[in-house]
Amino acid sequence: MPIQYPTRCRIIDVEGTEIAPGLVRKTPDVSKPHIGKEGLAEQVSEFIIRMTLDDGTILMGYECWWETIAGGV
């Protein structure tokens, strides 16, 4: 089921997670200080998602790994 935007989100750490034999995910350095923080994910274009964290930080979807969380918008 596709994500319905805007949605609540959380920045996650995927460092070392193997997604295929020999292929390991890496957490981008820019997102590391924000792991565990929550905010609002909004679709700003067909392929670009912007996360505005509750502390005011803005991250783009390509700068971090994130997950949707319950709690509405």
CATH number of the domain enclosing 51: 2.30.30
Does the residue 1 lie in any domain? no
Dihedral sign, Cα of residue 52, residue 32, residue 17, residue 71 = negative
Q: How far is Cα 65 from Cα 53, in angstroms, rounded to an integer?
A: 13
pLDDT at 72: 59
Residue 51: CB atoms within 10 A of its CB come to 23
Q: For residue 59, give its domain range.
A: 7-68
Other CB atoms within 10 Å distance of the CB of residue 61: 17
Cα 27 versus chain centre, distance: 11
How many structural domains are present in the chain? 1
Q: Which pLDDT tens digit goes with each residue over 1-44?
A: 789 999 999 999 999 999 999 999 999 999 999 999 999 999 99
Instruction: Report whether pLDDT(71) > 70.
Output: no
- Residue 19 placed within a domain: yes
* Residue 2 forms part of a structural domain: no
